[in-house]
Amino acid sequence: MNNMELFESSHEQDYLRRELGDVVSQPDVAITELVANAHDAGASLIKIIVPNNYNALMSFEDNGTGMTKDHIQNRWLKLRYNRLNRQGPNVDFPDERKALKRKAYGRNGIGRHALFCFGDSYTLETWRDGIEHSLEIAIGSDKPLVVKSCKERKKKGHGTRLTVHVQKNLWSANKIKEMLSLRFISMPDFSIEVNGQKVDISNHPNIVDQKELQVGDIKLNVVIIDAKTASRSLKYNGIGIWVGGRRVGEMEWRIGSHSFIDGRKSFSLRFAIIVQTDDLRDEILEDWSGFKPKSTTIKNVADVLYTHISEKRRELLKDEIAEIKIEALEANRKEFDELPQLAKEEISDFAEEILNENPDIKPEIIQLAIKAAINLEKSHFGQSLLEKLTTIAVDDVEALNKLLDEWSAKDALKVLSEIDSRIKVIETLRRLSGDSDADELHTIHPLMLKARWLFGPEYESSEYSSNIGLVKTIQKVFGKKIDKEAFINSQKRPDITILKDSSIGAQALEEVDEEGIVKVKTVLVIEVKKGGLAIGRDEVGQADGYVQDIVYSDILASAPFVNAIVVGEKIEPKTSTKKEIMDDNGRVIGKVMAVTFSNLIATAEGRLFRLREKLKDHYDIISTEKLKTETLNTNLKLEI
């Protein structure tokens, strides 16, 4: 026997249900798919009959093209049939409607078996070309699908009828109408009936605004519905986008990753936005659950919709805004009346500005804001702060409230100033370190000395400083290598020495010995290589020499421990980045470390909890020139 005959594929009994997913477990998805199938079959009408009880018949009948025996075999019974590849993107119509044009919904070939959502078998009746085929289709045990019976008879016309004895997931006719009204906008060439009643939302009595928007070549028909007085059976809010008459995804106050309105606010709880278009088909996910992520087209659409909805939001809530403003001023009437007339006008404008930007704000919040504004009017800096408050976002208001719950404004400013100054140093280094024209003397090196913490927490001490003896030692050690012209220009910075291919900065940490003599305990030497120059073995060896020359200098009154750090654009391969220097007795007298600008910046960002990334918009708008001025002309710490 051939060993290959011993093996054959098989499947679990629940394979088909797992393959079909939500189509056979969620009634709304199942019914939507069945309606979409009728639409793609060129039907002008689908009639849905919904029973009142279980074990009764549910049916979906359309007047589409119907199917031949070959269609049933090669389309209906083929799992994952790829309609787009086999039939193209357009719908085929019966002869009497051949002139019509319609884009098909179907893509993934699973919706046709949606009746399994209501039972384990269903009946397919389909007719065209004078022949009707009737099949009973069930979920099999040996095969995913089983045709339990098949009949054939003569019948005129064309169409398809699907029936199932409902065993589970029965929805009422009203619930199905409600769902379909929000998933299919009625089209002139396609209608839906549920138990004889037409499903249609285009003539909704509570439409308060309708406008056509243009986004490049894309046309959007935007309808705003006021659900405040709508039937309780029509419970919906959010933005819904219909493409070719079918809704994409769910109705919510976001499109993909773009949020519009807080779903808890009054506007979002009252209004629904219906967007109709036929121009976004290429941006839809295969299962119609949403739009493709990171789509530039969808972002542009979202931006235009956001602007339009924000304008309409203020307009539709205009009367409510006026009432809230009056109530808020009345709640602070006594203090308000004590203000000069100009101040009263400013407070009134302030309240109106906040309400226009945040029309959903709670009345008690605007009352507190007015009370605070009145107090600010009485202070020296009140006007400046008031102007800032007029543009503050709702999220920032909440954040500010939480901040002031735990911090005083003064303490918060101290902390933020410290963090901000450090981020700005790193941001300036990021921008200038790769610039071959950057001035090491007046930019890169001073920044390095301000950011000693980059090299480790032990360098945080503010006691590191220039030292006259150290300056003389540095000049003696590097005297032969100093670029004389650069040295003359560097007299204003005695702690930085300019070499031909780099700059050297040194600072000392002093201590008082038992005899009361001030001695240099530790020396931090930072050598910055000029733009583009790499650090190799020779450069590390040179730093080794610097360490020994400084330790054994006859100018300093002591033999300090020397940390030499060489910073450059890159490090050559097979170059040791860390090295300990020992004296003849095996005592460590110094260390050399080689590091790149990029590594320093990455380390710094990690120590600052990636705050630069989280505050990207804040720092991106600051010019490099302004950063240089702020970081080089101010102290690292701001005293308040």
Residues 340-349 have pLDDT tens digits of 777 778 788 8
Residues 25-53 have pLDDT tens digits of 899 989 999 998 999 999 999 999 999 99
Average pLDDT over residues 57-68: 95
Mean pLDDT of the chain: 78
d(CA 640, CA 637): 10
pLDDT level of residue 358 (50, 70, 90 thresholds): confident
Of 237-241, 381-385, 471-475, the range with the highest mean pLDDT is 237-241
d(CA 126, CA 69): 9
Average pLDDT over residues 587-592: 93
pLDDT score for 381: 52
Whose structure tokens read 């203090």? 335
pLDDT score for 491: 39
Beta-bridge partners for 135? 124, 150
Whose structure tokens read 């008879």? 153
Res. 500: pLDDT tops 70: no
Res. 162: pLDDT tops 90: yes
Beta-bridge partners for 127? 132, 159
Residues 306-318 have pLDDT tens digits of 888 888 887 877 7
pLDDT level of residue 480 (50, 70, 90 thresholds): low
In the 3-class helix/strand/coil scheme, how is 241-258 assigned residue by residue? Answer: EEECCEEEEEEECEECCE
pLDDT level of residue 184 (50, 70, 90 thresholds): confident
% pLDDT > 70, the chain: 79
pLDDT score for 638: 30
pTM, 2 dp: 0.43
More confident position, 189 or 27: 27
Res. 68: pLDDT tops 90: yes
Cα distances (Å, whole numbers) of residue 368 to 325, 357, 397, 539: 12, 17, 12, 64
Q: CA-based diameter of the chain, in Å?
A: 120
Residues 270-316 have pLDDT tens digits of 778 888 888 888 888 887 888 888 888 988 998 899 888 888 887 87
d(CA 510, CA 346): 57
Average pLDDT over residues 580-605: 89
pLDDT level of residue 167 (50, 70, 90 thresholds): very high
